[in-house]
């Protein structure tokens, strides 16, 4: 699993690891049942403190993304795609709610927001669901 970190980011390294793992899952690069590098291997690969990797792994395990079998190692859980997708959708809904609140405060109309969203979907190659 190849993870890229940004040392100049204000986001903590362990959160970057979590984000990158989930991104790889959504991209289909990492799939259910794949073995995850050990904490020691990942910390050497990323050149970060093993405690940082361990913190990310523990959170990923708590979220159900990783599952650890004593003596065998850590693996991507079987229902990981559904879990990650569901959490990403929930996160996006929360961000959308915050965006709408800010738009209302700024005096933007629903039609202006719809137009922007249509433009952004076109730019990203997505389809609208009219």
* Closest alpha carbon to 27 in 1, 6, 5: 1
* Closest alpha carbon to 3 in 12, 77, 16: 16
With H, G, I as helix, E, B as strand and everything else as coil, classify residue 66.
strand
Instruction: State the pLDDT at residue 9.
Output: 92
* Contact status, residue 88 vs residue 22, Cβ threshold 8 Å: yes
Note the pLDDT tens digit of each residue in 24-67.
988 888 888 999 999 999 999 999 999 999 999 999 999 889 99
Q: Where are the alpha helices (DSSP H) in 28-49?
A: 39-46
Q: For residue 14, what are its two tokens? A: 């362990």
The pTM score is 0.68
* Contact status, residue 57 vs residue 66, Cβ threshold 8 Å: yes
What gap in Å lies between CA 49 and CA 42, rounded to an integer? 10
**What b/e readout covers 96-116, taking b as 16+ CB neighbours within 10 angstroms?**
eeeeeeeeeeeeeeeeeeeee
For residue 90, pLDDT over 90 is answered with no
């Amino acid at each position: 699993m190849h993870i890229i970190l940004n040392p100049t980011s204000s986001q903590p390294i362990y959160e970057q690891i979590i984000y990158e793992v989930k991104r790889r899952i959504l991209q289909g690069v990492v799939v259910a049942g794949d073995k995850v590098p050990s904490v020691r291997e990942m910390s050497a690969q990323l050149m970060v403190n093993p405690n940082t990797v361990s913190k990310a792994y523990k959170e990923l395990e708590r979220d159900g993304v990783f599952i650890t079998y004593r003596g065998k190692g850590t693996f991507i859980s079987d229902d990981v795609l559904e879990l990650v997708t569901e959490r990403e959708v929930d996160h996006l809904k929360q961000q959308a709610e915050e965006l709408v609140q800010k738009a209302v405060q700024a005096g933007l109309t629903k039609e202006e927001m719809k137009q922007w969203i249509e433009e952004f979907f076109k730019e990203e190659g997505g389809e609208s669901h009219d």
